[in-house]
Structure 1
Amino acid sequence: MSTEVTVLGQKAKKVAATLANLDSTAKNEALLRIADGLLANQERILAVNQAEVAKAKADGLKASLVERLMLNPDRIKAMVEGLREVVRLEDPVGTVEKMWRRPNGLEIGLLRVPLGVVAIIYEARPNVTVDAAALCLKTGNAVILRGGSEALQTNQVLVEVIRESLRKTTVPEDAVQLLASPEREAAVALMKMREYVDVLVPRGGAGLIKTVVSNALVPVIETGVGVCHTYVDASADLEQAIKIVVNAKTQRPSVCNALETLLVHQAIAAAFLPRCGEELRRAGTEIRGCPQTLLHLPWATAATEEDWATEYLDLILAVKVVPDFAAAVDHIAKYGSGHSECIITTDYATARKFLQVVDAAAVYVNASTRFTDGYEFGLGAELGISTQKLHARGPMGLSALTTTKYIIYGDGQIRQ
């Protein structure tokens, strides 16, 4: 098994040097070819995916995971639009971020360059296959993809289409490779392949992240786990709050930027919770609430300590009434995952304070957390949403897939 993974690493390392020196025109042409290939092979892709979705349902896979696995014409169209958006974005590779001159005459600068070989281990969502390939190609990185076993066939056909498309360009097809083995040993071997892989990005639930962090020898950028909160302040516009909360929870509950815990100031709980709760119930949401929440929503079930720290990825919402702003912030600090947090308020000073004191990759005032997304942020696509603080944080677009090196111009200087 390790031999198969090593071969992928060797191929990726070999083409990485070529990719690093490709100009933007060549990379953009490759991305447009892939976009055309996805559209031309849509029926082929959907046929494979439909069979895989049917198997997942028959195997009893959780409904929210089946939803993430499923492709349709609109989702393929979104992949294509993402590719074309990445083409339109400026290529960061080769950018000199700044230059300065030292008293001894040396001119020193920072040049943005590719990371090299990027490996991605992810669950369920086949759109990640295309998004990751697009971002890595645009930034001159080779990529090794390892998706979940439930999406193995779909990922295989997507990578086949990508590689077929690359054969019509100057970009080597080995720039995008798939580790097709569903065996855990193969994934662990990839995590330890430090001599060939420059960075590893796990994208999935808490279990996957923990496994990767525990086993990897390759540098890891953690992404994905989203215990996201929305705090409805005493001064909130209640109509606006209801709209935002319902959207954040129900628009697509199976993704990491969906709302998982709603915090409500006690001063507006009686006016807000019955109305918002009814809208949520109408959308099929199960409420798990604190004792004060149950007074206003008697049909809800009692929350446990575990609920406050749970990423449901489903139509389940934890609700807690808090005495004040400080209690809301303390709750977020204790249970949040550093992903996306929101306050709904009409008080400018309170909004500013929330932005300053809440520690997360994305902090919102009066908007749904569902916007934490590379495409929505204007990044074209994303490799994942980093919840750590080193190298990259938040949606990882093109810039996050590059690093810098110092470039120094001299004229015979020697150090005394």
Structure 2
Amino acid sequence: MSGSSVFISRIRGLPVVDTDGDQIGKLRDVVVGFRPGGQAPRVRGLVVELFARQRIFVPMLRVHSVDAVQVVISGVVNTRRFSRRDAETLVVDDLVDRPVRRRGHPEPQVVYDVSMREVRNREWELAEVAVRERSGGRFRRRSHVTIVDWRDVVVGGQQHGQETEQLVARMEEMKAADIARELHDLSPARRADVVRALSDEVLADALGELPEDEQVELISSLETERAADVLEEMDADDAADLIGELAPDLAERLLGEMETEDAEDVRRLLRYEESTAGGLMTPEPVIVATGATVSEALALVRAEDLTPALASMVYVCRSPYETPTGPFVGGVHFQRLLREPPSTLVSALVDSDLEPLQPGSTLAEVSRYFATYNLVCAPVVDPDNHLLGAVTVDDVLDHMLPADWRGDQMDGMTPVDDEAAPAGPAGGRAIDGQKDRLG
């Protein structure tokens, strides 16, 4: 589809299927977000109507393909009822029949249809607008339909909340740390407006970059369902750190509202002390079977949502392949995969000198382990040799820096010297006994 465009009216009502060909529902609308500087709006996702008539949101990262027959999606889909954010626009409900001004054209016109195109892998934006003339506030019955580039029209009726929309549009072009700094500097009322308008994915990324006390304040201010959606978008280890700082009753409500699989990952991490390998690890490393080839492993590490650190090592395990896995065979460095023929079995390339971490390994032990083996990602196994997850170097650094380092960064301050900084956080989760209550 890259480079070509598809009009929304032609795909509206198409069946939405998973990669096995099973129908999930039907496509009802397309969600977009306006961007500053006259850029074409970015497509955030699809509104899909399930068979039970409930409408849900599917982000474009889950959209595998779009053609004239069906829309194919992949991965886990959140089945919560779709709720539009303040800065989101629906193509069918909000743009079709909307008045527009066509540049260099004196006659008033309205939107008849809108197309979208894939500009990069799974990244879509609006491309063209089909417009026709109005007469006396109504369509001319046989008026000619003209297709123009999105940038050649000015959409009317965008005054309400325009400042927030523009700020949110700018933020979605920023890195997570820069968004966090913007949120930190906003007044409480302004921040509430912006948070309400941000997509769950963007808010989740930014939330992890805020100081701990601001993370707690922000997630506590959200409605339970929205807060659970945001936590689901966070890495499980970051979500566990945040939930561990909340009051036990609120933490339990949020875990109960989250999708079962995501909640189970977080509960499992909450059983470990925060400054141990078990508390630092993510439960979703790159895992392959013993019969997997180099080409199959490289296809997995190409995934866009993987961080460079997590993609630096592939772990070979026996069934089951979800953590905790079957017996752990070993880890293979990404660089080693690049040097081998595509048909080579990954299991033949494991690093036999790499001893995995134990979940109870302390922060000091983990940091020495990373320094000794020159790693950016390391496996964590239980006493029965089942892979539990992987620790990445960014999480190690996060816990070695002073507790208030994010707050200093927000305020533009230089971090304190290493000699004056504490070695790491004291103890485990902030609320005594919460791990047992949540486990």
Would you say same fold, with TM above 0.5? no
RCO greater where, 1 or 2, for CA within 8 Å and sep 6 or more? Answer: 1
- Greater helix share, 1 or 2? 1
Structure-1-length-normalised TM-score: 0.30
- Greater strand share, 1 or 2? 2
Q: Flag the structure with larger Rg.
A: 2
Structure-2-length-normalised TM-score: 0.29
